[in-house]
């Protein structure tokens, strides 16, 4: 292994979020327009390019990789990427390979993912009501996702549900969601939306649900114990004493994790974002395509990371597909 990746503030970067596609089989109203145009294929990194980059990050000390999208499991041939990455899990150089998914393809992939050494996955699911699910995802169907989540559980994958907290939408499902996760043995994390601006077709201000309020409502029924665990990201966790469940909260405006930030984000076009909430980025696709010499690419990665900013100035609109938020690309901890 080469030496670890360190930024200019002495932080070690050992977590890479890697978007493998901008495509998705859903059209969530807060993420994509229904008639979304996707990137031309030649701009998107090929699977071999994604693998080469991931392997270089691992060689340079990255211990955890999370695949995101769009929807990572709609990327054609993605299983070959997981199969190739398994050797890094087997050697122990990579401690965790995981993904954030909408769950639609899990029934097909769960067994293979488990066989590739995947242990945990995040599934984005905002409601357990089939009609509301169809409304918010436009093209998604709840039974397909629930079937996928079951398949993941059966395959031995630990599931964390990520629910975007939306006032007037899933407010009434706070306890049903918590109880369902408790019964099924899934962890649950709520994600707060930005209070201002447009979020796809949704007016955020109308839908903004302060997680402090959500937490207070949870406390009317459960005794909450704060957990000290930190992921190097914005998530904070509590334990519900009565059931033993873990519930997380992600507030995008939180600043208090920057000093322990351990992560960078790669887009499917090969742009490395040094801070999840800032514009600073570096193009890795050009050096990757220009040279078979890994040293050139490693130098580009190191140069980029040495410029990682100290803290963030969070703005979802700057890191989104066509100006809209996707929770899979976003700052969603984990």
| Cα distance from N-terminal residue to C-terminal residue, the chain | 25
> In degrees rounded to 5, what are phi and psi of residue 267?
-85, 165
* Binding mask of the shown chain, residues 299 to 328, with x at each position contacting ligand SF4 by CB under 6 A: ---------------------------xxx
> Site for ligand SF4 (CB under 6 A): which residue of 124, 189, 278, 319?
124
Q: What's the rounded Cα separation, in Å, for the pair 77 and 220?
A: 47
The nearer residue to ligand SF4, 148 or 287, going by C-beta atoms, is: 148
Spatial contact of 238 and 226, defined as CB atoms under 8 Å apart: yes
- Report helix angle 130-137 to 142-154, nearest 10: 100
Q: Is 251 in the site for ligand SF4 (CB under 6 A)?
A: no
Q: Is 44 in the site for ligand SF4 (CB under 6 A)?
A: no
Query: With CB under 6 A as the contact rule, which of the stretches 20-28, 169-177, 234-242, 270-278 interacts with ligand SF4?
Result: 20-28
Question: Nearest distance from residue 323's CB to ligand SF4, in Å?
Answer: 13
Q: Is 27 in the site for ligand SF4 (CB under 6 A)?
A: yes
* Nearest alpha-carbon partner for 100 in 48, 164, 143, 55: 164
Q: Is 71 in the site for ligand SF4 (CB under 6 A)?
A: yes
Spatial contact of 14 and 62, defined as CB atoms under 8 Å apart: yes
The nearer residue to ligand SF4, 45 or 94, going by C-beta atoms, is: 45
Task: Give the footprint of ligand SF4 on residues 79-108 (CB under 6 A).
Answer: 102
Task: Give the footprint of ligand SF4 on residues 134-193 (CB under 6 A).
Answer: 137
Size of the site for ligand SF4 (CB under 6 A): 15
Query: Residue 323: CB partners within 8 Å, gap ≥ 6?
Result: 317
Q: What's the rounded Cα separation, in Å, for the pair 46 and 50?
A: 6
Q: Is 207 in the site for ligand SF4 (CB under 6 A)?
A: no
Q: What's the rounded Cα separation, in Å, for the pair 194 and 314?
A: 10
Binding site for ligand SF4 (CB under 6 A): 24, 26-28, 31-32, 69-71, 102, 124, 137, 326-328
């Amino acid at each position: 292994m080469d030496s670890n990746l360190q930024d200019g503030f002495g932080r070690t970067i050992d977590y890479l979020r890697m978007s493998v596609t901008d495509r998705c089989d859903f059209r969530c109203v807060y993420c994509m327009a229904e008639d979304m145009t996707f990137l031309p294929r030649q701009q998107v990194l090929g699977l071999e390019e994604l693998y080469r980059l991931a392997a270089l990050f691992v060689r340079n000390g990255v211990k955890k990789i999370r695949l995101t999208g769009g929807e990572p499991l709609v990327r054609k041939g993605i299983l070959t990427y997981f199969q190739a990455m398994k050797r890094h899990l087997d050697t122990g150089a990579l401690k965790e390979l995981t993904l954030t998914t909408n769950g639609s393809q899990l029934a097909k992939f769960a067994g293979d993912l488990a066989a590739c050494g995947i242990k945990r996955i995040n599934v984005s699911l905002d409601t357990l009501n089939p009609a509301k699910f169809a409304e918010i995802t436009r093209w998604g169907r709840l039974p397909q996702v629930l079937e996928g989540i079951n398949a993941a559980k059966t395959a031995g994958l630990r599931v964390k549900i990520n629910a975007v907290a939306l006032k007037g939408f899933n407010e009434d499902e706070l306890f049903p969601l918590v109880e369902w996760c408790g019964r099924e043995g899934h962890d649950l994390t709520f994600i707060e939306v930005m209070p201002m601006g447009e979020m796809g077709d949704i007016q955020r201000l109308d839908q903004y649900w302060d997680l402090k309020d959500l937490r207070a409502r949870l406390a009317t029924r459960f005794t909450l114990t704060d957990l000290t665990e930190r992921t190097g990201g914005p998530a904070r966790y509590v334990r519900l004493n009565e059931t033993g469940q873990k519930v997380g909260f992600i507030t995008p405006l939180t600043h208090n994790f920057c000093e322990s930030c351990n992560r960078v984000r790669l887009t499917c076009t090969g742009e490395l974002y040094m801070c999840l909430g800032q514009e600073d980025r570096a193009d890795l696709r050009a050096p990757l395509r220009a040279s078979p010499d890994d040293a050139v690419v490693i130098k580009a990665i190191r140069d980029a990371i040495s410029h990682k900013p100290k803290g963030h100035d969070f703005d979802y609109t700057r890191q989104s597909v066509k100006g809209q938020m996707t929770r899979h690309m976003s700052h969603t901890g984990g």
